[in-house]
Amino acid sequence: MVVSLRLLRFGCKNKPFYRVMAADSRSPRDGKHLEVLGYYNPLPVKLRVYWKQLLSTFMRYWLSVGAQPSEPVQRLLFRAGVLPPPPMLAMGQKGGPRDTRLVDPMTGRIMTP
């Protein structure tokens, strides 16, 4: 059984809310899961702050036993400081450099000189 870390979608139309979960890679997106590892709200709340709560000890456990994060979860873990930057942040889809500006490792935002 291959375990993947991925997002489970909740919320209504145009107002998504996600749970980060560990699940069997063969189960559907909103299907059975093994464990809920955190939450992510992509819509800005007050002061344009994105709300995310990740349980990093459980994330580190699942990563240590070989769980594979999906690309969105990999970006969230990078912004939370659990993983190194994913290769897609530095490279475009076809393998060329997409952006040469520096990215803040804690927030994932572009740093100004």
Read off the DSSP letter of residue 90.
H
Residue with tokens 């990215």: 103
| CATH code for residues 3-70 | 3.30.1320.10
- What's this model's pTM, rounded to 2 decimal places? 0.66
Percent of the chain with pLDDT over 70: 73
Helices (H) and strands (E) counted in the chain, each on its own, are 3, 5
Task: Give yes or no for residue 89 having a pLDDT over 50.
Answer: no
Give per-residue pLDDT as tens, 24-74. Answer: 888 887 778 888 888 888 876 654 555 567 777 888 888 889 999 888 888
Alpha helices per DSSP H over the chain: 56-64, 71-80, 87-90
